[in-house]
Amino acid sequence: MNPQQRYEIAKERYAALGIDTEAAVRTLSGIPISMHCWQGDDVHGFEDSGALSGGIQTTGNYMGVARNAEELFADLDKAFSLIPAKHRVNVHACYGVYPDGKAVDRDQIRPEHFRHWVDYAKERGLGLDFNPTFFSHPLSENGTLTNPDEKIRDFWIRHGIACIRVSEYFAEQTGTPCLMNIWIPDGFKDIPADRLGPRQRYMDSLDRILGCGYDKTKVLVTLESKVFGIGLESYTAGSGEFALCYAMTRGIVPLMDNGHYHPTEVVSDKIPALLCFAPKIALHVTRGVRWDSDHVVRFDDETREMMKEVVRCNALDRVILATDYFDASINRIAAWVIGMRSVQKALLEALLQPHQELKALQDGARFTELMMLQEELKQMPMGDVWEEFCRRNGVCASPAWFEEIKAYEKEVLSKRG
């Protein structure tokens, strides 16, 4: 039996449950995910700013890390060629491209430093998103937007505003709104003497950045919370409560990274909670293993549950999806592909569930039957629909896609010094 015949059978089996596989494939083909550029070079960027700081960490030393824009663009192309459907690229401010190789300081970045990204995206019809970089910089060591030294805090406020300008430029050039996500690492390793002051300064800094005057139809500002970082174990200024209250009172979008909560807290449960109040929310889909380790996203229970919430809350147009992980221990391009495909598989599974029927069972307190059906659904032939989805998007579905990774590794990555 060939894949298309298998798909036809799957289609009938799903139809018997009242599920339209054609609609699922169509919907999934139109869901863009903002793929983080920083998986390609271990969050290094193009500034030569030295070691990664801010309490985040990549581990591993796999061959072939991208060393400049040209290599990163080539690697992104390879990854996108193996990922079905059209997506977006999420760029960090430390990825400016400077003609003489000499980066300007973070408060001096200008749209023209990101022209190469615009050219890259426009040639390929991709959207662009942006992030100020409040880490890996000499002035970030003792805090950025919370810094008690007004000069340093002003520097970072200027950086935030400069990034809004780049985001506006991205939106104008690509013709789609640009999401600009603010995350700062600011916090303390040990028990603080003042928890309120840094948060008040953070609030004031954010107000000043957002007060710069920008086109809200072009730039969608999001604020990402965090529970702790390495070396910042006792306190994080931008905690869950801070970020959520700030976003909700200022009319910006809260962003949840599922690595940023206590290990028994799940973002799948937070999605519907926030959807009761926030017109839009944003996600960084990642996989924390014991801590915010940013392992490659897999088709695991929590990823599946998160995407189920997005779909069954009927919120595909309200939840903005991005990936955020960095693994330097395996082929970095495969890491992109596996992670993006995992999010898409989770979305597909969610699109292939009889949500109305399942909700009715819950509402009718028929919990035994609900459990039975939830388990039975796991055996449905989703893989055959996935293959069809890949085929229609011109991408190889079988593990044969990895042959391309092997060839690229041999011909390109292994030749990098």
* Three-state DSSP state, 54: coil
To the query of whether residue 117 is one of the catalytic residues in this protein, the response is no
Among residues 38, 183, 336, 386, the one annotated as catalytic is 183
Angle, helices 267-275 vs 301-312, to 10°: value is: 10
To the query of whether residue 226 is one of the catalytic residues in this protein, the response is yes
Q: H helices then E strands: how many in the chain?
A: 14, 12
Which of 102-109's residues contact partners 24+ apart within 8 Å by CB, and which partners? 103/46, 103/47, 103/48, 103/49, 106/132, 106/133, 106/137, 106/155, 106/156, 106/159, 106/162, 107/155, 107/156, 107/158, 107/159, 107/162, 108/162, 109/159, 109/162, 109/163, 109/166
Identify what 389 binds: Zn ion, ligand RNT, none; CB under 5 to 8 Å per kind: none
Interface residue with ligand RNT among 75, 224, 327, 387 (CB under 6 A) is 224
Among the residue ranges 47-55, 88-96, 214-222, 277-285, the one whose residues contact Zn ion (CB under 5 A): 277-285
Among 35, 53, 51, 60, CA closest to 295: 60
Identify what 349 binds: ligand RNT, Zn ion, none; CB under 5 to 8 Å per kind: none
Whole-angstrom distance, CA of residue 291 vs CA of residue 55: 12
Note whether 43 binds ligand RNT by CB under 6 A: yes
Interface residue with ligand RNT among 183, 188, 214, 242 (CB under 6 A) is 183
* Three-state DSSP state, 100: coil
Interface residue with ligand RNT among 10, 21, 33, 38 (CB under 6 A) is 38
> Whose Cβ is closer to ligand RNT: residue 78's or residue 284's?
284
> Whose Cβ is closer to ligand RNT: residue 266's or residue 396's?
266
Interface residue with Zn ion among 41, 168, 324, 327 (CB under 5 A) is 324
The burial of 346, by beta-carbon neighbours within 10 Å (0-12 exposed, 13-18 middle, 19 or more buried), is given as buried
To the query of whether residue 257 is one of the catalytic residues in this protein, the response is yes
To the query of whether residue 189 is one of the catalytic residues in this protein, the response is no
> Whose Cβ is closer to ligand RNT: residue 136's or residue 205's?
136
Among residues 260, 295, 308, 345, the one annotated as catalytic is 260
Identify what 38 binds: ligand RNT, Zn ion, none; CB under 5 to 8 Å per kind: ligand RNT
To the query of whether residue 324 is one of the catalytic residues in this protein, the response is yes
Whole-angstrom distance, CA of residue 354 vs CA of residue 377: 9
Among residues 226, 270, 295, 345, the one annotated as catalytic is 226
**For residues 280-299, which are near Zn ion according to CB under 5 A?**
284
Contacts (Cβ under 8 Å, ≥6 apart) of 364:
none
**For residues 105-164, which are near ligand RNT according to CB under 6 A?**
131
Interface residue with ligand RNT among 87, 201, 284, 332 (CB under 6 A) is 284
- Cβ of residue 405: shortest distance to ligand RNT, in angstroms? 24
Note whether 226 binds ligand RNT by CB under 6 A: yes
The size of the chain, in residues, is 417
Task: Read off the amino acid at residue 91.
Answer: V
CA distances from 307 to 301, 391, 403 (A): 10, 22, 29
**For residues 331-390, which are near ligand RNT according to CB under 6 A?**
none
**For residues 307-326, which are near ligand RNT according to CB under 6 A?**
324
Alpha helix segments (H runs only) across 189-229 = 196-210
- Cβ of residue 257: shortest distance to Zn ion, in angstroms? 4
* Three-state DSSP state, 127: strand
Contacts (Cβ under 8 Å, ≥6 apart) of 184:
134, 135, 144, 145, 146, 156, 202, 237, 238
Contacts (Cβ under 8 Å, ≥6 apart) of 22:
11
To the query of whether residue 156 is one of the catalytic residues in this protein, the response is no
To the query of whether residue 284 is one of the catalytic residues in this protein, the response is yes
- Cβ of residue 386: shortest distance to ligand RNT, in angstroms? 28
Among the residue ranges 6-14, 89-97, 201-209, 319-327, the one whose residues contact Zn ion (CB under 5 A): 319-327
Radius of gyration of the chain (CA): 22
To the query of whether residue 291 is one of the catalytic residues in this protein, the response is no
- Cβ of residue 226: shortest distance to ligand RNT, in angstroms? 6
Note whether 93 binds ligand RNT by CB under 6 A: no
**For residues 66-125, which are near Zn ion according to CB under 5 A?**
none
Helix (H) or strand (E) run with residue 287 in it: strand 287-289
Interface residue with Zn ion among 257, 292, 327, 384 (CB under 5 A) is 257
Q: Which residues are catalytic?
A: 183, 224, 226, 257, 260, 284, 292, 294, 324
Residues near Zn ion, by CB under 5 A: 257, 284, 324
Residues near ligand RNT, by CB under 6 A: 38, 43, 56, 131, 183, 224, 226, 257, 284, 292, 324
